[in-house]
Amino acid sequence: MPHPNFVLIMTDTQATNVIGAYGRPELRTPNIDRLAETGIKFQRAYTTCPLCTPARGGLFTGIYPHTSGSWTNNLPLGSNIRTMGQRFRDAGYATAYVGKWHLDGHDYFGTGLCPDGWDPAYWYDGANYLAELTEEDITLWRRGLNSLDDLRAHDIRTEFTWAHRTSDRAIDFLKKWDARIKNQESRIEDEAERLSQELRITNHESHTTNYALRTAQPFVLVVSYDEPHHPFTCPPEYVEPFVDYDYAIGPGAFDTLENKPAHQREWAASARMGQRVRESGTIRAPMYLGCNSFVDAEIGRVIDAVHAYAPENTYLLFTSDHGDMLGAHQLGGKGPAMYEEIAHVPLILELPGGGDGRVVETLVSHIDVLPTLLELAGLDAPPILEGTSLVPQLQGVEVPDKPVFIEFNRYEIEHDSWGGFQPVRCIVSGPYKMVLNLHYTDELYDLAADPAEVNNLIDDTAHVATRDALHDQLLDWMYTRRDPFRGPVWERRPWRDSRRFQWRGEFRPRPA
């Protein structure tokens, strides 16, 4: 069998709460929705960190951010950490990455330089996009497009956007791959015909295409959109349907944040949306939601190109790095919290040739993506990878649920934003989510009974056994995974003192 191809499409700041296939059909994401109709939709997928760089580190290395080095924005991966591109390139794959990277430790835009493991011919991070713009356009893109009126006044068209140019390069890659295949098929047909005439061999036609596929170089193509992240650049027609649209937040809109961590109340005070959100239960975000719909249209272009140019042997995966709070719990943006609005991400995988669509309820994480792709490619996953392959779930095998783990350390090195150093560790297991906020009150939620995460059960006597069991699992994970921030302070909580940490404790070397 030929080695499969992989196309990984990802967005920035697009959690399940703004996608039709995950319960918000009014938000106009038809292309992601149709992918869910033909693919396998993971209903309970989580990021490794609700923040850009760490989330991407977990996804593209298969190693948690606290180990990979990229544990906050603007910290690069460690020099001894290998990426998806390097692993597949070394296995003989063509590897192309188009769009936002945000893993080089530079600023938001990147350096413009292609890191090892990816094809420089297709590298197109933010610095490359800015290099194509005039100084006026750069200023306009970053600071001048804050409303529908701005988009109209400056006649913003699809061709201006980073998203559209990212799609163009991805489609170009797929077209050229298809052309090479067809050229190879043609040469094989000619050679087969020559041999047929010379040796009187017949019925060669049925073998030539398969032979061409077997000898073609497989590829990994990553298409990484900045959208719907700010600055919300898109043509005005995508924003217009949402100008008067009231986005229903749900019960989380009415969370008073009592019995919640102090830093969340500080964050809510800075967001200044508490009273109006609590009064209406809704928020208006036409620019964000318009850009959310726009990036779906660009994703549709790439999906169509995959189906047109590489349909036979290509796995197509869609996800996003994290979400936006959108007013839930009086909060906006992303930061040191583990609420579903920013931690619960879409994950959809379409098998070659598509299918009838299927939903998997198993808890999964971005940390599982790289081991999955390696197994699908017939490649070994090295022991340093920290996730578990999802191939059994893809094959319809019932797999026992396993917990997923999420972390947060600080928002960014350059900015004193979202409270600075805010270490958080989280475990999601079955219906429960436990959040350890190192400096503040901890959290425990029953997602089945309280999906909006309003009722903090950390001190509820009826949940002591569940709470302590999750605490033990989370501590075990921190110690066995060599979390550099581990220590007895995570054990000394107001509600429990487990005291397992030893001052002269175990030596924990890095795996091979």
**What span, in angstroms and rounded, lies between the C-alpha atoms of 404 and 430?**
10
Q: Are 169 and 122 in contact (CB under 8 A)?
A: yes
**What span, in angstroms and rounded, lies between the C-alpha atoms of 289 and 287?**
6
Q: Are 13 and 324 in contact (CB under 8 A)?
A: yes
DSSP state of 73: B
Burial class of residue 200 in the structure, from the number of CB atoms within 10 Å of its CB (0-12 exposed, 13-18 middle, 19+ buried): exposed
**What span, in angstroms and rounded, lies between the C-alpha atoms of 89 and 180?**
19
DSSP letters for 408-475: EEESBSSS--TTSEEEEEEEEETTEEEEEETTS--EEEETTT-TT--S--TT-GGGHHHHHHHHHHHH
Burial class of residue 205 in the structure, from the number of CB atoms within 10 Å of its CB (0-12 exposed, 13-18 middle, 19+ buried): exposed
* Separation of CA 14 from chain center: 9
**What span, in angstroms and rounded, lies between the C-alpha atoms of 322 and 406?**
11
Q: What is the dihedral of CA 380, 383, 389, 392, to 10 degrees?
A: 80
| Coil, strand or helix at 323 | coil
Tell me the two tokens of residue 58: 């977990």
Could you list the active site residues?
A: 52, 102
- Residue 344 bridge partners (DSSP): 46
* Separation of CA 327 from chain center: 21
| Coil, strand or helix at 196 | helix
C-alpha separations of 148 from 183, 238, 255 in Å: 47, 10, 31
**What span, in angstroms and rounded, lies between the C-alpha atoms of 436 and 374?**
33
Burial class of residue 396 in the structure, from the number of CB atoms within 10 Å of its CB (0-12 exposed, 13-18 middle, 19+ buried): exposed
Q: Are 294 and 163 in contact (CB under 8 A)?
A: yes
**Contact partners, residue 260, CB within 8 Å, separation at least 6:** 329, 441, 443, 456
| Coil, strand or helix at 93 | coil
- Residue 436 bridge partners (DSSP): 425
Q: Are 15 and 341 in contact (CB under 8 A)?
A: yes
Cis bond upstream, residue 228 (ω within 30): yes
